């Protein structure tokens, strides 16, 4: 998920796959820009190889001009679309950011070639949870620090609400000069809500349902801290 600022672009990505690997790099510098991906990591690595070759040929011209983020975004769109046409897609959602001639650029390409440019983009759950926050709070004159705070706010929401999220992330800062990607770090979170205390209270679940006479009784459910058991009386209705 990314946010673009007045003279620089920032990215932020959450790392997942805690079980498979210690850490997975989902964001890489590409020339003077930065590319991030969600989805299949092996396909992302192949895309990085294509881009390596693209940047290499661009540099070989040695003409003082280099491919801007718009051009690289267009190239990636064509690559993704052509693979989709052959019914063999690269299973990624790509985010590309960069700055050229003072113009900032932030674009996204999906695995079937749907692409667009905007002031803020996101992949996966970010579209549902983060974009609304960004639509409300993004504005043209965000400073870098404020941009980072805004992204951290979004990432925290995702951390709480996306079950596949992990508390380890990186930020990339892209300016006219180039890209710097931060070291991975964790966000501060708060889990001391009352409902999270004694998490095993409801562990028996609904398996233990006893029908005595006219009423059903279930094991106590974890309520707001009180320890009295609650019997839910459904009367004669056994079809619930």
Partner 1 sequence: MTKQQANWSPYDNNGGTCVAIAGANYCVIAADTRMSTGYSILTRDYSKICKLADKSVMASSGFQADVRALQKVLAARHLIYQHQHNKQMSCPAMAQLLSNTLYYKRFFPYYAFNVLGGLDNEGKGCVFTYDAVGSYERVGYSSQGSGSTLIMPFLDNQLKSPSPLLLPAKDAVTPLSEPEAIDLVKTCFASATERDIYTGDKLEIVVLNAAGIRSEYMELRKD
Binding residues (CB under 8 A) for partner 1: these are 77, 81, 84-85, 87, 89, 108, 110-118, 127-128, 131
- Sequence-ordered alpha helix ranges (H) in the chain: 41-60, 69-85, 126-137, 144-161
Roughly what angle, to the nearest 10 degrees, separates helices 144-161 and 126-137?
150
State the nearest-atom distance from the C-beta of 152 to partner 1, in Å: 22
- How many C-alpha atoms does 119 have within 13 Å on its Cβ side? 15
Choose between 15 and 44: whose C-beta lies nearer to partner 1: 44
Choose between 57 and 116: whose C-beta lies nearer to partner 1: 116
The whole-angstrom distance between residue 97's C-alpha and the CA centroid of its chain comes to 15
State the nearest-atom distance from the C-beta of 67 to partner 1, in Å: 18
Strands of the sheet with 2-4, listed across from one edge? 120-121, 2-4, 9-14, 169-174, 179-181
User: How many CB atoms within 10 Å of residue 131?
Assistant: 17
State the nearest-atom distance from the C-beta of 208 to partner 1, in Å: 38
The total number of residues written for the chain in this structure: 240
State the nearest-atom distance from the C-beta of 76 to partner 1, in Å: 12
Select from 75, 113, 70, 74 the least CA-distant residue to 91: 113
Choose between 122 and 179: whose C-beta lies nearer to partner 1: 122
Choose between 89 and 147: whose C-beta lies nearer to partner 1: 89
Choose between 84 and 156: whose C-beta lies nearer to partner 1: 84
State the nearest-atom distance from the C-beta of 3 to partner 1, in Å: 14
């Amino acid at each position: 998920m990314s946010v673009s600022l007045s003279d620089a672009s920032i990215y932020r990505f959450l790392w997942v796959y805690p079980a498979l690997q210690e850490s997975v790099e989902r964001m890489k510098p590409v020339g003077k820009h930065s590319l991030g991906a969600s989805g299949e990591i092996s396909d992302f690595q192949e895309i990085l190889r294509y881009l390596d070759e693209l940047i290499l040929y661009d540099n070989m011209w040695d003409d003082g001009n280099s491919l801007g983020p718009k051009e690289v975004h267009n190239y990636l769109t064509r690559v993704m679309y052509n693979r989709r046409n052959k019914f063999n897609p690269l299973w990624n959602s790509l985010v590309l950011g960069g700055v050229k001639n003072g113009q900032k650029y932030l674009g996204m390409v999906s695995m079937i070639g749907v692409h667009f440019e905007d002031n803020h983009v996101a992949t996966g759950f970010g579209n549902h949870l983060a974009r609304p926050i960004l639509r409300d709070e993004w504005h043209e004159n965000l400073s870098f620090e404020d941009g980072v705070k805004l992204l951290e706010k979004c990432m925290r929401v995702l951390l709480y609400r996306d079950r596949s999220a992990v508390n380890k992330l990186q930020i990339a800062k892209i300016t006219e000069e180039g890209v710097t990607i931060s070291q991975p770090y964790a966000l501060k979170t708060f889990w001391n809500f009352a409902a999270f205390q004694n998490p095993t209270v409801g562990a028996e679940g609904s398996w233990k349902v006893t029908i005595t006479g006219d009423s059903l009784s279930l094991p106590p459910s974890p309520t707001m801290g009180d320890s009295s058991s609650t019997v839910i009386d459904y009367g004669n209705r056994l079809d619930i």
